[in-house]
Amino acid sequence: MIDLMFALAIGMLFGIGVFQLLRRDLIKAAIGFAILFSAINLFFVAVGAFDGDFAPYVSNVEAGLSTSDPLVQALILTAIVVSFGSFSLVLGFVNIISRRFDTVDSNDINKLKH
C-alpha cells in the first residue's frame, strides 16, 4: 500500500514538474525544475536497495535485524545541495532577464533568434 502511494506521489510530482517546466513563464519553469528534482529525490528514497524498518546501526545489523538503506539518504542530501545550487542559479538568471527584458515570458525573450 505504502509502495503504491509512493509510486503515485512520484508520478504526480513528475507530471506536474514536466508540465511546469514546459510553461512559457520562466519563473514557473524554474519552479517546475525544483518539483522535478523533488520527485527524483523521492524516487531515490522510495526505491532504496535494502528494505528494512530499523536504523542502520552496527548493533542492529549484528543483532540480525533488517535495517533500512543508509546510502540513499546520504545520496539525496548531496542531490538536494546540487539541485538547490542549480535552482538558485536559474532564479538568479530569471531575475536579471526579467529586468533586462521587462518580461518573464519566454516567447518575448528572443534576441538570439535572428
Partner 1 sequence: MIENNTLLLGSLVTPLIGAIVALIFANSDRLQRSIGVLTGLIAWVFSVSLLVQVHDAGVQTYALGNWIPPYGIVLVADQLGALFAFMVTTIMIGGLLYTFRGHDKCMSYPAFIPLFLLMEVGLVGAMLTGDLFTLFVFMELMVLASVSLTAISDDQFGLEAALKYILISSMGTLFLLLGIASLYASFGTLNMAQIAQILLTGERPILAAASSLMLLCAFLLKSAVFPFHFWQPDFHTTAPTPISAMLSSIVVKVGVYGILRLVTLLFVKDAHIMEPWLSTLGIIGILFGSLGALRTYNAKRMLAYSTFAQIGFILVGIGWGGPLALVGAIVYAFNHAFIKSSLLMLMGVVASYTPTKSANFGDISGIGSRLPSAVGWLVLLGGLSLAGVPPFNGFISKLALIRGGVESGDWQNLIIMVGAGILTLMYMIRAWQRIFQQSPLPTTVQTKDEGDSLFAPLLLIVLCLLLGTIFTEPLIQLVSATVQQIQDPSVYISAVFPEGPGIMTR
Contacting positions for partner 1 (CB under 8 A): 21, 26, 29, 33, 36-37, 40, 43-44, 47-50, 69, 71-72, 75, 78-79, 82, 85-86, 89-90, 93-94, 96-97, 100, 109, 111-112, 114
**Nearer residue to partner 1 within complex by CB, 1 or 49:** 49
CB of 60 to partner 1, least distance (A): 15
Residue 2 C-beta-side C-alpha neighbours within 13 Å: 4
Cα 71 to Cα 104: distance, rounded to the nearest angstrom: 39
**Nearer residue to partner 1 within complex by CB, 51 or 59:** 51
**Nearer residue to partner 1 within complex by CB, 22 or 55:** 22
Between the alpha carbon of residue 37 and those of residues 3, 20, 50, 86, 99, the distances in Å are 20, 13, 22, 10, 27
CB of 12 to partner 1, least distance (A): 16
Contacts of 85 (CB under 8 A, 6+ apart): none
CB of 23 to partner 1, least distance (A): 11
Backbone angles phi, psi at 69, to 5 degrees: -90, 115
Answer for the pair 43, 55: CB distance below 8 angstroms, yes or no. no
CB of 5 to partner 1, least distance (A): 17
